[in-house]
Chains A and B, each alone.
Chain A
Amino acid sequence: MAERAPLWAVFVLPLLLVAVAVVTAGFDALLSAGARSGRSGSLREASVRATSPGREVLRQLVQQPRRTRASDVSLTRIGTALLPVAAVLAAVVLPLGFRSLSDLPEGVVWFNAMEALAWAAVWMAGWGPNSALSLIGGYRFLAQGLAYELPHMLAITTAALGAESLRVGEVVDAQAGLWFAVWMPVAFGIYLLSAMAMAFWGPFDQPVGRDVAGGATAELSGADRVLFLGGRWLLLVVAAAFGVPLFLGGGHGPLLPGWAWTVLKTTAVLAFLVWVRRRVPTLRMERYVELAWVVLTPLAIVQALVVAVVVLNR
């Protein structure tokens, strides 16, 4: 079972998440620039490319924000601020090594509930500016949510079922021997897909797609834009990091201490998600919803059944 972290960790957790998100964004920017204009020749050029997200943040903060006519400013603000808040709240149950901020008895459900707040956040951010393109983006995310949520819930339930507990610490303890990713590969695969979908990342980036001029982000500018897109990075980091205690054994591993294993595994999952975005084209949601409901949901149920039978025979 995970230990309680000290109280100061409450202030460290958001900073840590932001730091990981900034590093990931820098790495992604480096890869993007490399794909656009060839490999960076010098270390200096590489660092200029890697810090481009930081410069973009500064630019957004100092430039004059745009406002659309008859926009619902308060709804937009709540939506954009809710996205990072939901990501940080979801991270409360994330163990670093074997310590989490709060090892709630219902940690897995808590994570799911906080991640679902993103549905409301993206829709509000899309609705608020009173613009057709951002409205389309907001509605796309709801359609995406309906597609990914069903198999996603079954996948995380399967992990909880394998540990016979909804407490994240006990899910980690149950993987001291064999990782859940090894004997629940289908659930793990589905989890990785839905981790991308909940952060509207990679093949699931239609809610902020280029075909609708940025979708939900189309009219966001200034601090609103920084909060929303930053919140999306945080959500991606948290979704990737939660796969580690659920399926990859959390802090368990030889030689290195628990926290180092957590960081290593989280880095690996994040690197995989960043890589997938470059390899897989954007999926149209009506295609994915069919795949999710006709193929993934039955697969997830069969996986849960197999795990349930194993657990009952233990």
Chain B
Amino acid sequence: MGVTVFWALAIPAVVSGTMVFRFDSMARATFSLLTSLLCVGGLVVLLGLDYLGIVIVLMMTIEMAIMAVFMVMYMMNPAGLMPMTMIHNKKGAAVLCGLVFALLAGGILFAPWPARKGRAPADPTMDLGMSLMGPQMLTMMTLGMALFATIVATVVLATRRGRYDRLGDDLRARHADDPVRGGVGR
């Protein structure tokens, strides 16, 4: 059963991953990548890490849906209606991909994998989380805040209109002066 499910997910994952580079439409490439990632989510569930697998499905769906907007937005051919290719520097990319694949496959085949000691834990997600984050929780929390602060800071720096444009030089305007009316308090 497990073996069947593995192949039923692994083959579509690789095929749709390859199709990302074969499709000539940005929209198709995006959702082909999403298919591949959803299959990977299923494989993670198969490993017994249910929570992580479902979270991968959730996050990748939302991420690729938003990615579709950006991919289409930043493309040279905005509507994606003209055929285009995802690949640049074809030969170099092919050589690099081949090398990385050989390296990873070699690692899988030749690494001296340890035999299982003891039994599988009742809740593998919990154990994985504890071993990843347990002793490093403070570091992770600090890192999370730092990343979030970076996101906010870049948005603040990138935005053209600041609070002085919205609320006047002394920030005392009763109503914010926004190009788009409506929303909270207006």
Contacts and interface: CB of A to CB of B under 8 A. Distances in A.
- Interface of B (DSSP majority class): helix
Interface in B25-65: 25, 27-28, 31, 34, 50-51, 54-55, 57-58, 61-62, 64-65
A295 B184 contact: yes
Contacts of A287: 182-183
A200 B158 CA distance: 32
Interface of A: 70, 72, 74-75, 78, 104-106, 109-110, 112-113, 116-117, 119-120, 123-124, 127, 130, 139, 142, 145-146, 149, 166, 284, 286-287, 290-291, 294-295
B182 A117 contact: no
A107 B100 CA distance: 37
- Interface of A (DSSP majority class): helix
23 contacts: A75-B27, A78-B31, A104-B50, A106-B50, A109-B54, A112-B58, A116-B58, A117-B61, A119-B65, A120-B34, A120-B64, A120-B65, A127-B27, A139-B69, A145-B65, A166-B51, A284-B182, A286-B180, A287-B183, A290-B182, A290-B183, A290-B184, A295-B184
Contacts of B180: 286
B25 A72 contact: yes
A146 B66 contact: yes
A130 B27 contact: no
Given A109-B58, A290-B184, 5 more contacts: A74-B28, A116-B65, A120-B31, A142-B69, A287-B183
Task: Find the residue from A78, A119, A120, A287 having the highest chain B CB count within 10 A.
Answer: A120
Contacts of A290: 182-184
B68 interface: yes
Given A286-B180, A286-B182, A113 B57 contact: yes
B78 to A, nearest CB: 11
Interface of B: 25, 27-28, 31, 34, 50-51, 54-55, 57-58, 61-62, 64-66, 68-69, 81, 180, 182-184
A112 B64 CA distance: 16
B28 A75 contact: yes
Closest 3 CB pairs of A and B: A290-B183, A113-B58, A119-B65
A284 B183 CA distance: 9
Contacts, number: 70
Given A70-B81, A287-B183, A294-B184, A109 B61 contact: no
Contacts of B55: 109, 113
B54 A113 contact: yes
A129 to B, nearest CB: 12
Nearest to A286: B180
A211 to B, nearest CB: 15
Nearest to B53: A106
Nearest to B64: A120
A290 B166 CA distance: 15
B66 to A, nearest CB: 7
Contact of A116 (B62, B81, B183, B184): B62
A146 B66 CA distance: 9
A72 B28 contact: yes
Contact of A286 (B25, B50, B58, B183): B183
A78 B61 CA distance: 14
B184 A291 contact: yes
